[in-house]
Amino acid sequence: MTALSVFLDVPPAQKLEGSLLKIYKQDDSSKKMFLAYKVCMTQEGQPWVSFVVHKIRLQLAQDPSLNYEYLPVMGMKSFIQASLRLLFGKHSQVIVENRAGGVHTVGDSGAFQLGAQFLKTWRQDSQIVYVISSQIEHHGFIFQDMGFTVFEFSFWDPEQLCMDSNMLFSVVKQAPYGCIFVIGNIDHCKMTQYQWTKLMATMKRKRIFLFFDIPYQGLATGDLEEDTKFLQYFVSEGFEFFCSQSLSKSFGIYDEGVGILAVVTRNNQLLLCVLSQLMNFALALWLNPPTSGARIITSILCNPALHEAWKLSLREVAEHLLLIKEKVKEKLRLLGTPGSWDHITNQNGTHGYLGLNYQQIEYLVKKKHIYIPKNGRINFTCINACNIDYITQSINEAICFTKSSGKKKTLQKVDIS
């Protein structure tokens, strides 16, 4: 008699992502192209890797002095220190006053899982999380799985085709006292000093705990300091917060999953207490973080010449990205494509919204074999000299030959009663 499986009642999980890529791979059209890769792409259509990374990989592979013992639970100390200096600036008051620390994590997901576990345990009176970004993030699932009540909002206004900072003000104003705000890509929202001051005053009055996400420092504007400038506003106002700093994209070592959970507190004594608790959670989650990617990044950040070479490679990517966006906008203008396309060049970073509606996106996928997400947010580094004409002509065709059905709004879960 065959015993029943203990897994008999386990259904298949709902697929969260990847179906678009699967359909793309099954497409046998010679014209097919995929514009939704997560990684930064080169002009040749390959994942971008900073040229200094190749150099360091070879050096480390031939270094006989390296040992391959397990790292401490907190991770590689030199990597954490270098990452914090990169995030805040070596002369930042939180660095000088020794009230910023970090834990070496397994990518950004590890940082959010670690931070969420801490908040679940030590902020039991605050179990409401608002996830706010330029897109719907996976962070919400992490908090949701831990029992938090999660609401998601996007900075992107699909009607006005711009990042709307007023949305952030509105959510903060109506959010309950003591809740948690997970904020990503806030650098996309261009706000004045007065607006920042007003926003922080409301957050401070409501004792909102902030959890920032820095997924690709240096690739948003090409300037490392500019991409994290907003953090200095919160530091100067005495905020305590968490920050996920993922460095995989900034160096082009996507398969390494390298990052830290940065912590800012009022003083060093509080910092040591928080880090000690985080260490216990990390011990249960992964015991020891991976070494390879952290060694590469530390070698670059701690060598002035390599650091400058890496910064130059970031600026080159950012400048090429601006050029691609300008070309896309200009080609659409020359084709006489209806509408304004300024929103393409107004968006920072590798990814941005095309501003197409659902019907137009479906046309591109089914008729032109151009695979983009339903929200129309593409990776602009996937566009190059070989495919830009076909892409822009297809966008023009999709708009001209489909009926307008209004812009499809991004998912928002609103319950602020």
**Would you report the helix, strand and coil content of the chain in percent, each value rounded to 5?**
45, 15, 40
In this prediction, residue 359 carries a pLDDT of 95
Reported as a single tens digit per residue, the pLDDT across 335-370 is: 999 999 999 999 989 999 999 999 999 999 999 999
> Does residue 413 carry a pLDDT above 50?
no
Predicted confidence at residue 370, as pLDDT, reads 98
- pLDDT tops 60 at residue 408: no
The first and second tokens of residue 364, run together, are: 């591109």
Distance, in Å, from the CA atom of 182 to the CA atom of 212, rounded to the nearest integer, reads 6
Contact 235, 258 (CB under 8 A): no
Query: Can you give the pTM of this predicted structure?
Result: 0.91
User: Closest Cα to residue 310, out of 299, 323, 320, 319?
Assistant: 299
- The proportion of the chain whose per-residue pLDDT surpasses 90, expressed as a percent, equals 78
Per-residue confidence band for 403, with pLDDT thresholds at 50, 70 and 90: low
Q: Please count the other Cβ atoms lying within 10 Å of the Cβ belonging to residue 16.
A: 8
Specify the pLDDT at position 188. Answer: 72
Three-state DSSP at 181 gives strand
Q: How confident is the model at residue 137 (pLDDT cuts 50, 70, 90)?
A: confident
Q: What's residue 283's pLDDT?
A: 95
Residue 159 near residue 343 (C-beta atoms within 8 A):
no
Bridge-based pairing state of the strands 258-264 and 351-353: unpaired
pLDDT digits (tens, 9 = 90+) for 157-196: 999 998 888 889 999 999 999 999 999 988 777 788 889 8
| Helix (H) or strand (E) run with residue 261 in it | strand 258-264
- Residue 357: its pLDDT value, please? 94
Architecture of domain 19-50+314-400: Alpha-Beta Complex (3.90)
4-8, 374-378, 383-387: least confident range: 4-8
Q: How far apart are CA 100 and CA 94, in angstroms?
A: 5
Q: Is residue 277's pLDDT more than 80?
A: yes
pLDDT band, residue 151 (cuts 50/70/90): very high
Task: Give the domain 53-305 fold.
Answer: Aspartate Aminotransferase; domain 2 (3.40.640)
pLDDT of residue 15: 65
* CA nearest to 156, candidates 415, 409, 413: 409
Q: What is the pLDDT of residue 409?
A: 35
Hey, which of 64-73, 105-114, 380-389 has the most confident mean pLDDT?
380-389
What does the pLDDT look like over 258-271, one tens digit per residue? Answer: 999 999 999 999 99
| Domain assignments of the chain as residue spans, ordered by start | 19-50+314-400, 53-305
Asked if the domains 19-50+314-400 and 53-305 are classified in one and the same CATH topology, the answer is: no
Please report how the helices 77-88 and 292-301 are oriented relative to each other, as an axis angle in degrees rounded to 10.
Answer: 50
Q: How far is residue 369 from each of residues 14, 30, 31, 146, 399, measured CA to CA in Å?
A: 25, 9, 7, 39, 16
DSSP 3-state of 189:
coil
